[in-house]
Chains A and B, each alone.
Chain A
Amino acid sequence: MTEQPRPLIEITDLVKQYDVLPVLRKLNLTVHRGEFVALLGPNGSGKSTLLRLLCALTRPTSGEIRIGGWSLPKEINAVRAQIGLVSHKPLFYENLTATENLTFFGRLYNIPATELPDRIRQMLDEVGLIKRAHDLARTFSRGMQQRLSIARALLHQPDVLLFDEPYTGLDQLAGGILDDLLRKAHQSGRTIIMTTHQLERAEALVSRAVIIKKGVIGYDEPINPANPPNLVKIYTEVTGMVNAL
């Protein structure tokens, strides 16, 4: 029997409570290196909260989170460089150009100055923003902002991608580009957790689907992209289309 490698992400009995009602109630989840997980669930079910907990932007009320064996939030420093986040907020500055924004964040991630300009150009090219490289981010449309957010999240080539509704605002073309970027990241062994409400899209991309229901995992199954299950049907069954609010 081969020994199962230790999971990259281990979440044990995670509770997160903002005001009175807990959002996550003793949630357990393990994710292995190289998995591409779709994190699904109705509005307000705690998907964004879970991703924010995973990059230590907010603290758990109780329970344990480990990434690569490091315990969060205490030892987050050891893994920060390995995490790339796309969040509901764009996470950049509107009075800087696309290139200036990426240069700033590239420096924070200690990307060597000799490499940085090329990497930025390549990244902007990949997300289709190269023509707007020197325009202020405040002049970007919603979808262009989202593209810049994605470029920012991928610039330091993180091992763990936490993508919160990355398709929001993207047009057909950009959606296709993101599909390719995510597929490439998955093929190169990156670990991805992505929330989305586009179930068909998730079906075609991910290796595992997880549905949050009432603060715990209500469904968790691997997905075979060659023969994907009907996620829309499963989702409806699991959530019962109840309103989480």
Chain B
Amino acid sequence: MTTPLWRTVFSIIRKDLRAELRSRELVSTMVLFALLSVLVFSFALELDRTARQEVVNGILWVTLVFASILGLNRSLATERELGGMDAMMISPIPRMAIYLGKMVGNFLFVLVVGLVLLPIMTILYNMVLIQIPLIATLILGVFGLASIGTLLAAMTAQTRSRETLLPIAMLPVIIPLLLVVIAAASTVLKGDDAWNWIAVLGLVDAIYAALGLLLFEYVIED
């Protein structure tokens, strides 16, 4: 009776991509915010070469975190406004599919922001950020943000003060992710081998995703 999981997940991803390609509401807001953020940081911090090397990852990830919060709030708001989430909830699909579909969409949108930032920050901070291990860190880090962020956004979307609540809920929860991401990225910029850290990052992702898969159906029940 229930529609197969993967068919549903793909339908939800397709729906979100299609709506986003048309309106560009999410990605354009996030990209604009991210560009302004790195620009402001570059003016605010007068940095010599070593100092820059130390903070550039911090700037990238603080920016990505806040951009993703913007995007996640928006992504769940579109589901609430006209009742799209209710419509999915009453249809014969596994609850997990809603999580996976929304999560993959959010992952792709935030990844776009990251991929826009890398070359721009390379120029702005005069540092080579386009390296395979850094891109791997970006992909896994954004995946972590999207997987735990989708869960928390679904949760806070139920509450009255949802827009303000998401950062408060999300920032503490992603501290482990940020620690590992920064460790991996700094190692890369120092010219050392970072694949151990990247493996740990994969582990953190797996834990976040497992939490999302397990808890999502409980947080969307009202």
Contacts and interface: CB of A to CB of B under 8 A. Distances in A.
Interface of A: 55-59, 77-78, 80-81, 83, 85, 87, 89-96, 100, 104-105, 107-110, 136-137, 152
Contacts of A104: 11, 14-15
A108 to B, nearest CB: 4
Given A95-B19, A95-B22, A108 B86 contact: no
A96 B15 contact: yes
Interface of B: 1-4, 7-8, 11, 14-15, 18-20, 22-23, 25, 78, 81-84, 86-93, 221-222
A95 B78 CA distance: 9
A28 B86 CA distance: 26
A108 B19 contact: no
Contacts of B222: 57-59
Task: Pick the most buried of A83, A107, A136, A152: most chain B CB atoms within 10 A of its CB.
Answer: A107
A110 B15 contact: no
Contacts, number: 85
Contacts of A87: 83, 86
Contacts of B22: 95, 136
Nearest to A83: B90
Given A59-B222, A95-B25, 4 more contacts: A56-B89, A80-B92, A95-B78, A108-B92
Contacts of A137: 82
Contact of B86 (A77, A91, A94, A96): A91
Contacts of B89: 56-57
A81 B93 CA distance: 9
A91 B87 contact: yes
A110 B83 contact: no
A89 B4 CA distance: 27
A81 B82 contact: no
B2 to A, nearest CB: 6
Given A92-B84, A93-B15, A107 B90 contact: no
B7 A107 contact: yes
A90 B86 CA distance: 10
Contacts of B8: 107-108
B3 A91 contact: no
A168 to B, nearest CB: 14
A56 B2 CA distance: 16
Contact of A90 (B7, B15, B20, B83): B83
B7 A91 contact: no
